[in-house]
Amino acid sequence: MGEHNELKNRYMHIRWEETTHSASKRHIERHIGQHIPEQNSILNLLDTKEISSRMKSNITKLYEALGMEKIFGRSDVIEVLGITERPASTLLGKMYSLGLTEKITGAGKGKYRFIV
């Protein structure tokens, strides 16, 4: 190949703290801020939708109890809110139609997850 490269630590040394630490810290803070949902984001979204105050409070309680990562169904809604099967099904359908939840395939029938 005929190449002659001297790869020595003293030639390749990078001052990590001066060049990357402050920039990467700002990048990490910005990145974390984008991916950690704020509690107010769901409240702001619910204010733009035309739904009753009771349904808003039920959705907020569900969001606080289950979060974004947990997959839930009608039985979880019944357990968290203490309501019967019919209102729980209605609430799940309404949340899906508003775009607050997504259906999960492969976890059983009627499983949802928050996407807000």
Phi, psi of 30 (to 5 degrees): -65, -40
Q: Give the torsion sign (CA, 101, 105, 109, 111).
A: negative
Q: Any idea what DSSP says for residue 103? A: E
Measured at the CA of 109, the angle between CA 106 and CA 112, to 5 degrees, comes to 80
Q: Which domain holds residue 96?
A: 39-114
pLDDT of residue 26: 58
Q: What is the CATH number of the domain that holds 96?
A: 1.10.10.10
pLDDT of residue 91: 92
Answer yes or no: is pLDDT of 32 > 80: no
pLDDT of residue 75: 93
Higher pLDDT, 80 or 1: 80
**Residue 71 lies inside a defined structural domain of this protein:** yes
Tell me what the mean pLDDT of segment 38-55 comes to: 74
Number of structural domains (the chain) is 1
pLDDT of residue 46: 76
Q: Which residue has the tokens 């949902």?
A: 37
State how far the Cα of 44 lies from the Cα of 49, in Å rounded to an integer.
9
Q: Which value, to the nearest 10 degrees, does the dihedral of the CA atoms of residues 85, 90, 95, 96 take?
A: 100
Higher pLDDT, 42 or 19: 42
